[in-house]
Amino acid sequence: MPLVPGDEVLATDHEYGACERAWRFVAARRGFTYRRQPLPLPLTSPEALVEQFWLGVTPRTKVIFLSHITSPTAIRLPVEAICARAREAGILTLIDGAHAVGQLPLDVAAVGADFYTSNAHKWLCAPKGSAFLHVRPECQRLIEPLAVGWGWGEDRPAS
């Protein structure tokens, strides 16, 4: 993600601890801020949740990171509405679908996230390390490969 000092990543206070640690680790090295917007319980409606979350958005918010289904509270967040609103505001979205895959019918294109990722070991009973990352075509230029082989280089198709 193209994050620099002064930028913010906004999440909720219902996110998975290991993911928060990863964001804080990268934030400390790159100088951006990882922020948590509280979602007080009980939640009354998806629309109210979107509005409560959106109170945390500032002009410095560059990325929104959310769980599709939260780990500590098992709440299905209205990620489709938040992703649509974020796109209108020019904010990138990254959705953690670790608890959604295998529990919900999933159409990642319909979610509308710029980045949607999930492991497969929790609800699909796959080996640890099995995972996927879906990136909207418009955002694929932001991804750097960990391994380089065929499909990368001068003859790589333009995205």
**Which residue is listed with tokens 């913010």?**
8
Residue 44 sits in a domain whose CATH number is 3.40.640.10
pLDDT tens figures, 88-147: 999 999 999 998 888 889 999 999 999 999 988 887 888 888 899 999 999 998 988 777
Q: How many helices (H) and strands (E) does the chain have?
A: 4, 6
Lowest-confidence pick of 30-34, 78-82, 91-95, 153-157: 153-157
Residue 2 lies in a domain: no
Neighbouring residues of 139: CB distance < 8 A, sequence distance ≥ 6 = 92, 114, 115
The pLDDT, as a whole number, for residue 152 is 65
- Entry pTM: 0.89
Residue 1 lies in a domain: no
Q: How many domains does the chain fold into?
A: 1
Residue 148 lies in a domain: no
The pLDDT, as a whole number, for residue 118 is 93
Residue 14 lies in a domain: yes
The pLDDT, as a whole number, for residue 33 is 98
Residue 34 lies in domain: 8-142
d(C-alpha 144, C-alpha 17), whole Å: 25
d(C-alpha 129, C-alpha 72), whole Å: 22
Tokens linked to 25: 């680790």
Residue 158 lies in a domain: no
